[in-house]
Amino acid sequence: MAESPINFNKRNFSSLFLSKKPLIEQGLRLYNKNKQKAAILKWHSALKQIQKRNDKFILLGYLYHAYVGFGKYRQSLEFAHNQLTIAEEMDSPNLRAEAYLNLAKTHERMGNLEKALSYARHSLYNECDHCRTAGLVQITVGSLHLELATFCKALQAFQQAHTIAQRIQDRSLELQVPLLVFYEFSQVYMCLSELFGRLQDIDKSAMYASKAYNLCRTLHVNELNSRYHRAALLQMAITLRKQGEFGDAHDYCSEASRLALVSGDQPCYTKSIRIMGDIYRKKMEIGNAYRQYESAMNSAFSMGDRLCQIEAMDGAAKCLEILRIQQKICNCRPLEFNNKLLETANKVGAKLLMRTTRIRLCKICQSLGDVEQMTEHEKKIQQLEEELEMVCGSCNIPFGFESDSLEVLPCTHILHARCVYEILRRKDQKKKRTCPDCEKIITSKLYLHGNDSPHNSVSNIFNSSTALEASSFV
């Protein structure tokens, strides 16, 4: 999920390269005109000529981001590794932090979540120029925990990223707010929308999606074709679909799809066809839905994007389940397919998905009369639910498995919204307003939402021309 902005902008770039690197300049101009392939060719030729290690590091970063944008993760990994080698040679903690961040992000997409987490930790450890990559690393850490279904840790990381972004914004009011801040805010909102979506709080998911989308829309028209705009469109499509607004969901999704095709953004395109599959499935157009999932699965597989792959597989498994219940197909294919999905989800460590897959398998085994397998699945489901720790500390009833309204406390513990309000209403001095999980005092100001949003200030700053200048490369 976490996409980081390109950590460099024209301003940094010019100061580092002066005017002696025409090939790189030309590449940058081409890239900004959506001519990514031509830009990459220029940069590859530049790579052969460059001597200075610092210059080479930055150029490798350009190539890394360009390849990630195309969904060519294996190649981008090579660039990140080369960056790390240079960072080691120069013994520069800041460069190391950036190289580790790039490694973490690619491994995340490839579904190597533990490895990605370890790279992210290395990045944080090396970070010394505060705020430069720290916010981006926290977003990556958060989205890794989101995939691993360790939601409290995800919320902690997003909270930190939000704080870092706010700090930069506050500190640089009279100077120029880096575009980074804007990306960090919109990324945090997008991740929170995804998190609440997975926990089935549809209203909160929709609220954060709109926040991210509105933030993107406040930018100048040049930014409209950025990958953040596309990602925000998709997040809107996801929440609109969950709210049953299929027409609008379809429009947002097709727009993202169209823009992704124009820019050669394969990851976004693949995600958009998967989401289109979800829309068709909810409209009970199962044949159409299945075809979308199939093509998303193939595309994700060829990119090596395992996260996208399991999401598409989950959609396809849901289609098969509908057909099985309607008795249009027998149990064999769903059984085989769900087992394959379980294996892949297991490799990734996506526990929430492992649970839903086992629930489907349990039903299939029941219909096959395979009691032994059924009990085995039931046992594993219970085990998974215990590991997921998705239980409200106040009423001891699980949350997140069914659609419900949730609330996050500042300590990042998640409770039912009604349980939180009940605690907040306590007037009795003896019954303190504390978090039932960690006993920290609860103030009425809950997790980062409400009216403390940075929208206004950020949008004002980004309407200024200086910010636009700095944002030329996304």
Is there binding between residue 392 and Zn ion (CB under 5 A)? yes
State which residue, 59 or 415, has the beta carbon closest to Zn ion: 415
For tokens 């926290």, what's the residue?
138
Q: Which stretch binds Zn ion (CB under 5 A): 197-205, 257-265, 299-307, 414-422?
A: 414-422
Q: How far is the CB of 113 from Zn ion (least distance, A)?
A: 25
175 burial (CB, 10 Å; 0-12 / 13-18 / 19+) is exposed
Q: Which amino acid is at 329?
A: I
Q: What single-letter DSSP state applies at residue 389?
A: T
Q: How far is the CB of 412 from Zn ion (least distance, A)?
A: 7
Closest to 377 measured CA to CA, from 393, 356, 392: 356
Q: Which of 193, 416, 454, 470 binds Zn ion (CB under 5 A)?
A: 416
Q: Which of 58, 104, 273, 419 binds Zn ion (CB under 5 A)?
A: 419
Q: What are phi and psi of 414, to 5 degrees?
A: -105, 130
State which residue, 316 or 411, has the beta carbon closest to Zn ion: 411
Number of C-alpha atoms within 13 angstroms, CB side, residue 378?
Answer: 10
Is there binding between residue 199 and Zn ion (CB under 5 A)? no
Q: Which amino acid is at 254?
A: S
Q: Which stretch binds Zn ion (CB under 5 A): 120-128, 173-181, 252-260, 415-423?
A: 415-423
DSSP characters for 260-304? HHHHT-HHHHHHHHHHHHHHHHHTT-HHHHHHHHHHHHHHHHHHT
State which residue, 373 or 394, has the beta carbon closest to Zn ion: 394
272: tokens are 């958009």
- Distance between CA atoms of 236 and 238, rounded to whole angstroms? 5
First to last CA, the chain: 17
Q: Which of 38, 90, 359, 395 binds Zn ion (CB under 5 A)?
A: 395
- Distance between CA atoms of 248 and 244, rounded to whole angstroms? 9
Is there binding between residue 438 and Zn ion (CB under 5 A)? yes
Is there binding between residue 394 and Zn ion (CB under 5 A)? yes
Q: How far is the CB of 153 from Zn ion (least distance, A)?
A: 13
Q: Report the Cα 465 to chain-centroid distance in Å.
A: 29
393 burial (CB, 10 Å; 0-12 / 13-18 / 19+) is middle
Closest to 196 measured CA to CA, from 230, 163, 235, 231: 235
Q: Which stretch binds Zn ion (CB under 5 A): 63-71, 190-198, 356-364, 418-426?
A: 418-426
Q: Number of residues in contact with Zn ion, rule: CB under 5 A?
A: 10
Q: How far is the CB of 405 from Zn ion (least distance, A)?
A: 10
Q: How far is the CB of 147 from Zn ion (least distance, A)?
A: 23
Q: Which stretch binds Zn ion (CB under 5 A): 132-140, 230-238, 334-342, 394-402?
A: 394-402
Is there binding between residue 411 and Zn ion (CB under 5 A)? yes
Q: Which stretch binds Zn ion (CB under 5 A): 80-88, 230-238, 277-285, 404-412?
A: 404-412
Is there binding between residue 435 and Zn ion (CB under 5 A)? yes
Q: Which stretch binds Zn ion (CB under 5 A): 175-183, 215-223, 260-268, 413-421?
A: 413-421
Is there binding between residue 413 and Zn ion (CB under 5 A)? yes
Q: Which residues bind Zn ion (CB under 5 A)?
A: 392, 394-395, 411, 413, 416, 419, 435, 437-438
